[in-house]
Amino acid sequence: MPRTTGGLSIEMEGLMETLQAVRGVEADLRPGVNNEIRQAAEKSAGELVSELHSSAASSGVPVASRVASSAKVKRDRIPTVSIGGSTRVGRRGAPAGSLVWGSEQGPKGSTNHWAVPPSSGYWIKPAVERAGPKAVETFRYALADIYRKHGLL
pLDDT digits (tens, 9 = 90+) for 87-111: 899 888 899 988 888 888 876 666 5
Say what the alpha-carbon torsion angle 115, 116, 117, 121 is, to the nearest 10 degrees: -130
Give me the pLDDT at residue 1, please.
38
Give me the pLDDT at residue 28, please.
67
Ranking 22-31, 52-61, 91-100, 122-131 by mean pLDDT, the lowest is: 22-31
Per-residue pLDDT at 21 exceeds 80: no
What is the C-alpha to C-alpha distance for residues 141 and 151, in angstroms, rounded to an integer? Answer: 15
What is the C-alpha to C-alpha distance for residues 12 and 22, in angstroms, rounded to an integer? Answer: 17
Give me the pLDDT at residue 91, please.
83
What is the C-alpha to C-alpha distance for residues 153 and 144, in angstroms, rounded to an integer? Answer: 8
Mean pLDDT of the chain, nearest integer: 82
What is the C-alpha to C-alpha distance for residues 127 and 130, in angstroms, rounded to an integer? Answer: 5
Percent of the chain with pLDDT over 70: 78
Give me the pLDDT at residue 3, please.
43
Ranking 1-5, 75-79, 147-151 by mean pLDDT, the lowest is: 1-5
The answer to whether 105 and 112 are in contact (CB under 8 A) is: no
> In terms of DSSP bridges, do strands 72-74 and 80-82 run parallel, antiparallel, or are they unpaired?
antiparallel
Quick one: pLDDT band at residue 2, thresholds 50, 70, 90? very low
